[in-house]
């Protein structure tokens, strides 16, 4: 079984897809005009108008309509299932472990200037490497963990100013 994705269209309609469902689509790529898609004997012309790769948000034009698409991957779905939220971290200065695991890397030092989306550390959990990123622009106030240390869910990892 492949990866799963949850897609929200225009902030209202939600769809879930498995990777094999996406791979089964009949898609032709045209470098000049985007994509030509055949689905259930219907033809669609599609192009990506805007993209924000870090936030996984895209504006996609299908035929003559433009849709805003937000994509959640396996990790996002797991975090949601565990009752955690990445958006809450944007409102506070404390970066906590989303799940128990092992710190593989610490990519910042105290006093480091960081931008939203910068890699702060890598946490290995459930045989997956999870990169924890800065939720906003700021300065690293303190680092509470070290490489090779194990952490518990909700344990303070980094404080930001």
Pairing of strands 34-39, 113-114: unpaired
Please check whether residues 11 and 43 belong to one and the same domain. Answer: yes
CATH code of the domain covering residue 104: 2.40.50.100
Please check whether residues 115 and 66 belong to one and the same domain. Answer: no
Nearest C-alpha neighbor of 98 from the set 87, 118, 119, 82: 82
Which pLDDT score is estimated for 22?
82
Please check whether residues 22 and 65 belong to one and the same domain. Answer: yes
Least confident range from 8-12, 38-42, 71-75, 114-118: namely 71-75
Q: How confident is the model at residue 87 (pLDDT cuts 50, 70, 90)?
A: low
Which pLDDT score is estimated for 84?
65
- Whether 82 is covered by a domain: the verdict is no
Q: Where are the beta strands (DSSP E) in 40-111?
A: 42-52, 57-62, 65-72, 94-96, 101-106
Between 145 and 88, where is the model more confident? 145
- Whether 19 is covered by a domain: the verdict is yes
Counting the structural domains of the chain, the total is 2
Please check whether residues 150 and 112 belong to one and the same domain. Answer: yes
Please check whether residues 113 and 155 belong to one and the same domain. Answer: yes
What is the share, in percent, of the chain residues with pLDDT greater than 90?
49
Contact (CB, 8 A) for 6 and 12: no
Which pLDDT score is estimated for 1?
55
- Whether 143 is covered by a domain: the verdict is yes
In this predicted structure, the answer to whether residue 110 has a pLDDT above a threshold of 80 is: yes
Q: How confident is the model at residue 56 (pLDDT cuts 50, 70, 90)?
A: confident
- Whether 78 is covered by a domain: the verdict is no
Which pLDDT score is estimated for 89?
43
Please check whether residues 96 and 66 belong to one and the same domain. Answer: no
Please check whether residues 66 and 100 belong to one and the same domain. Answer: no
- Whether 114 is covered by a domain: the verdict is yes
Q: How confident is the model at residue 156 (pLDDT cuts 50, 70, 90)?
A: very high
Please check whether residues 126 and 65 belong to one and the same domain. Answer: no
- Whether 86 is covered by a domain: the verdict is no
Contact (CB, 8 A) for 139 and 113: yes
- Whether 111 is covered by a domain: the verdict is yes
Please check whether residues 14 and 52 belong to one and the same domain. Answer: yes
Nearest C-alpha neighbor of 155 from the set 73, 99, 80, 84: 99
Please check whether residues 50 and 100 belong to one and the same domain. Answer: no
In this predicted structure, the answer to whether residue 90 has a pLDDT above a threshold of 70 is: no
- Whether 85 is covered by a domain: the verdict is no
Structural domain of 144:
91-160
């Amino acid at each position: 079984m492949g990866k799963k994705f949850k897609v929200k269209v225009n902030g209202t309609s939600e769809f879930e897809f498995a990777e094999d469902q996406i791979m089964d689509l009949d898609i032709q790529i045209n470098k000049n005009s985007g994509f030509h898609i055949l689905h259930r004997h219907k033809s669609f012309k599609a192009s990506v108008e805007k993209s924000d790769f870090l936030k996984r948000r895209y504006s996609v034009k299908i035929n003559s309509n433009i849709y805003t698409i937000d994509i959640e991957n396996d990790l996002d779905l797991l975090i949601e299932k565990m009752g955690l939220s990445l958006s809450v971290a944007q409102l506070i200065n404390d970066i906590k472990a989303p799940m128990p695991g092992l710190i593989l890397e610490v990519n910042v030092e105290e006093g480091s200037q960081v931008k939203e989306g910068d890699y702060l550390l890598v946490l290995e959990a459930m045989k997956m490497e999870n990169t924890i990123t800065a939720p906003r622009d700021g300065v690293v106030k303190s680092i509470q963990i070290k490489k090779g240390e194990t952490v518990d869910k909700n344990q303070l990892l980094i404080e930001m100013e």
